[in-house]
Amino acid sequence: MKLVVFSTKPYDRRFFEAARETKEYSNIEMVYHEVSLTEDTVPLSQGADGACVFVNDSLSSAVIEKLAGTGVRFILLRCAGFNNVDLDAAEKHGIAVANVPSYSPEAVAEFAVAMIQTLNRNTHRAYNRVREGNFSLDGLLGRTLHGKTVGFVGTGRIGVATARIMRGFGCRILAHDPFPSAAFEEIGEYKSLEELLPLCDIVSLHCPLMDATRHIINDDTLGKMKKGAMLVNTSRGGLVDTKAALRALKSKHLGGLALDVYEGEGSLFYDDHSGDIIHDDVLMRLTTFHNVLVCGHQAFFTEEALEEIAKCTFRNAQELAGGGKCTNMLTKGLVLKQQGTLPWKCLVVDEASRKIIDNVVKDDEILNTNIATIERIEERREPNPDMDAIYLLSAEPHIVDCLLADFERRRYRRGYLVWTSLLEPGLRRKMDEFPGIRQLRASSKTLFVNFYPKESHLITFRDPWSFPILYHPACNNLIPKHMQALAQKIAGVCITLGEYPKVRYYRPDKAFHEASVLCSHLARFVQEELDGYAHWNPDFPPPSNRPQSTLIVTDRSMDLMAPLLHEFTYQAMAHDLLSIKDGDRVTFRTKINAGTAEEQEKDMELSDKDKIWVENRHRHMKDTIDKLMGDFQKFLDQNPHFTNDSRDATSLNAIRDMLAGLPQFQEMKEAYSLHLTMAQECMNIFQRNKLPDLASIEQTMSTGSDEDFRKPKNVLETIVRLLDDGAITPPDRLRLIVMYVLYRGGVIAEDVQKLLIHASLPPQDGEVVANLELLGGKTSHVLKEPRQPPPPLFPRDRDPRSAQATEEYALSRYEPTLKSMLDALTRGALDQAVFPHVKPPMDPNEDLLVAQGGSLRAGRPNWNWAAAGRRPPENRQRIIVFMAGGATYSESRACYEVSRDKGRDVILATSHMLTPQLFVRQVTDLSRDKRQLDIPMERPKPRAPAHLLERPAPPPQPAAAAQPYPPGGDTSDTSLGGRGPRMPPSNAGPGARLPRQGGLAVQPISGPHPVRGPSSAPAAPPSELLSKLHLNPSPASQAASSGGAPSQDGGKAHKDKKRRNFLGMKK
């Protein structure tokens, strides 16, 4: 491959040749020319594959036409800007164009700040004076940056990098950008340009040059700036009307001007004109002002930037020469081929799909992929009939109505439909029958993304209402539809991961609670969803080197101790003790810059983007504090010149005080301040509420042994003593009583009331104890009845030698049952009677084979006897656990630990995350009237907003015109794999089973439609109602169900009546 380089400088040759010395780029032939590219110099590119150019080279239509005649196939810009390139002409002549979009944002940002400080402190004038022996300070008076307001026009990478530095000086940061950046919002505030200009002491330009931004700084905008403000431009010269700037300088309205770029720089910059007469009168007039600083477009000019420019240019060349996709392609034709007739589209979302997007991607990342705007379908929007729209929508009836309202009004040219989950058959048919659907619907796909990744190995459905639906006695009529929704979401997780797992479920031995059958039915539903999807998508699952995954469906009844225990790892302890908001974002409100003039309260996010949080969240609190203090002390040792504080970083408070004196490291300061504050508050509560004493007896009851691994003694006496202690809070007293009842395997009702009275708790708190029966907890005991506490699901290791390594963590001996289950699974020893398969394997020793490192995905063993822990990450078996009824942070930690220790990828999915307070409240609510819970499934169904439906009545049409296309619509609807089932005729009978998208079907329970709410019959218990429900009622799937036989109506009613009497509900 041959490249010809125009406008070559010695430094260009140096860095290109250095890059060519690597093996990766040694095959590229370079021809260097010092002259610029013009119509006259085009012949120099004869025989080259690509032309490498810079900002002042001419790439007009005429030049590009001649380049095409020389055989040049692509143009390589060794810069980010491309305003000097006629991209339409390049596309017309089949020449691809690529740039270097980001080589060193920090280089430009640092230079911009250097120019600000030079002007602000008159350094340039002082330098010249001292060289002449003038040491006078007259005329050199400057201003401090601290407390000043700096405005940024444009918040791309360079703008954000500059803002971060200015924030370190203690400046207030504002910005204007039509496409807001989430990264900037963490450090500053957006304003309109009209609002921003009068507020700022310094205005810095960081936007691209295009028709809309040319001369964005003009007489009008300069007049709106604060008198005496400074203007800085390191972006593109054409952003500033230089003559208008001269007028503002002359009137002294503009206090300073720093330019690294100039709109007339083309014939001047990058060359030595010291011996020439410069005829640019505007530039010469600028240099006469002492408050003007002009540099020769050198902000980018660092070794690191030139090295990256050379490498990126070579990468672009190789990608273009190979005919593949070039990441930095600018030619519009590429976008046209990928996205249709128009390069820009509008993204339309609804309230629910918007939350899914916000959970995983920032708006600026979306807007950088040729998305012009992001709009909500429920809100008022201006029509845009010349632009296509991508609809990312929830499969809900009112959202479909909103979509059809858009179609009827022709709000956009065409719609590319993307659904977050499967459309119900009725909604699918409603769309297919819409007049003109084939012209309005460009395509339709289903992405199974109706869930929320919370961490790298943790997924939630953000559905705390799942708990009462599954366990409240009066919610039996809601269970079938809710279970179908859960099954689709769980299957969606598997499909998104590319996994077709073996499905197992928790079947408790000798269970007496009605909800004990939930896991078996839910697992069966998930299996049917996956089988249906695989049937209609033969390429599922995609090829993989991983062994076949396993999905285990379990529920909260498997471990009732975990949600009640005080856990002392950082994440679990913080969520238990602190006021952390767990909504669309997980945040903790804290003070930053405490004790300074910049002190403010701020909601700090706790997410995987926070490296300190990720690194420490699963550590014991003692280790977390040691790590935070050690890391900060290491920072001070490496940077002793940043603080004169003589104190040692030996306490959390001392470190927090020292952080206040480090304004140069704002981000680091905020992150460490957040976690030091959280750790300190946790430890304060730990001591104040006597949690060590509480945790000691909690560990004894949960493990069944004391700290010496012996049978515990005097448990009740210890509990009574703690209930007498005023330092123990009422919620902790209630948790202690509940754990004691579970530990004993039930107590007589009078004893529970005595404990509540002794703890000064209201009698109604006893409902928590009674309601645990609904989750399988043994809480009641009849006097003189033989007491035999239920054995643990996984026996605890009582050998003291096994705990020697964690002796100092005696308050953290309990391991969640989930961890024991995963450990048994990875060893191939998980009991198949308690955790059966929905589809029993042909080989009963299959799990043992996988545990030893064999592969089951390929259909034959792969005898790799290496330990599973030595598998590379991309080859590790995935284990997906769904915990119905909510999961705890201790269980989430257990999944990470098993992943690390056993060489697996364990992913925990659940309806919602539980804290002890939330768990106790939700269990208490199981005895409340269902109507008081305001369950969303029983609220009135949302409807399309009226403003979307406000339109004149359409003229009457002939009956034949009502359905111009055959029922079923176009065949563009696909579900990831590109294949989808055809729908049945629209004249199918009301009782016909309508297959779901992906081949699944709904078996009506009562009436002609799928389950939508309570029927006229009395509510049946889950064991009866679920046994009648099938997603794919084939004989095989019916046989796979392990649910018990349905009881008779009379027996059911009698049993329901008895249970309500026992729980103190209405008789």
Provide the annotated active-site residues: 236, 265, 297
Contacts of 405 (CB under 8 A, 6+ apart): 944, 948, 949, 951
Nearest 5°: phi and psi at 780? -110, 150
Contacts of 118 (CB under 8 A, 6+ apart): 124, 258, 293
Judge whether 818 and 559 are in contact, CB under 8 Å: yes
Alpha carbon distances (Å) from 151 to 98, 120, 143, 160: 31, 16, 17, 11
Q: Which amino acid is it at 539?
A: D
Could you give the 3-state DSSP secondary structure of residue 398?
helix
Judge whether 172 and 147 are in contact, CB under 8 Å: yes
Q: Which amino acid is it at 524?
A: R
Contacts of 654 (CB under 8 A, 6+ apart): 647, 648
How far, in Å, CA of 32 to CA of 3, rounded? 9
Q: Are strands 371-376 and 887-888 parallel, antiparallel or unpaired?
A: unpaired
Judge whether 344 and 370 are in contact, CB under 8 Å: yes
Tokens standing for residue 75? 């143009």
Cα–Cα nearest to 778, from 992, 521, 977, 510: 510
How far, in Å, CA of 404 to CA of 416, rounded? 13
Cα–Cα nearest to 617, from 564, 650, 582, 571: 571
Tokens standing for residue 733? 């007293």
Q: Are strands 600-605 and 586-592 parallel, antiparallel or unpaired?
A: antiparallel
Nearest 5°: phi and psi at 447? -105, 130
Could you give the 3-state DSSP secondary structure of residue 727?
coil
Contacts of 39 (CB under 8 A, 6+ apart): 58, 60, 62, 63, 66
Nearest 5°: phi and psi at 925? -65, -15
Task: Report DSSP letters for 754-801, one per residue.
Answer: HHHHHTT--GGGHHHHHHGGGGT---B--TTSPP-PPPPSS-----GG
Task: Report DSSP letters for 498-563, one per residue.
Answer: T---EEEE---TT--SGGGGHHHHHHHHHHHHHHHHHHH-TTPSPP-SSPPPEEEEEEGGG-SSTT
How far, in Å, CA of 872 to CA of 853, rounded? 12
Question: Which residue matches tokens 């740039």?
Answer: 99
How far, in Å, CA of 381 to CA of 4, rounded? 50
Cα–Cα nearest to 729, from 907, 916, 482: 916
**Helix/strand/coil percentages in the chain, nearest 5:** 45, 15, 45
Tokens standing for residue 698? 């909690």
How far, in Å, CA of 630 to CA of 637, rounded? 10
Alpha carbon distances (Å) from 392 to 828, 973, 1020: 42, 14, 37
Judge whether 488 and 450 are in contact, CB under 8 Å: yes
- 6 exposed, middle or buried (CB, 10 Å; 0-12, 13-18, 19+)? buried
Judge whether 118 and 258 are in contact, CB under 8 Å: yes
Judge whether 228 and 255 are in contact, CB under 8 Å: yes
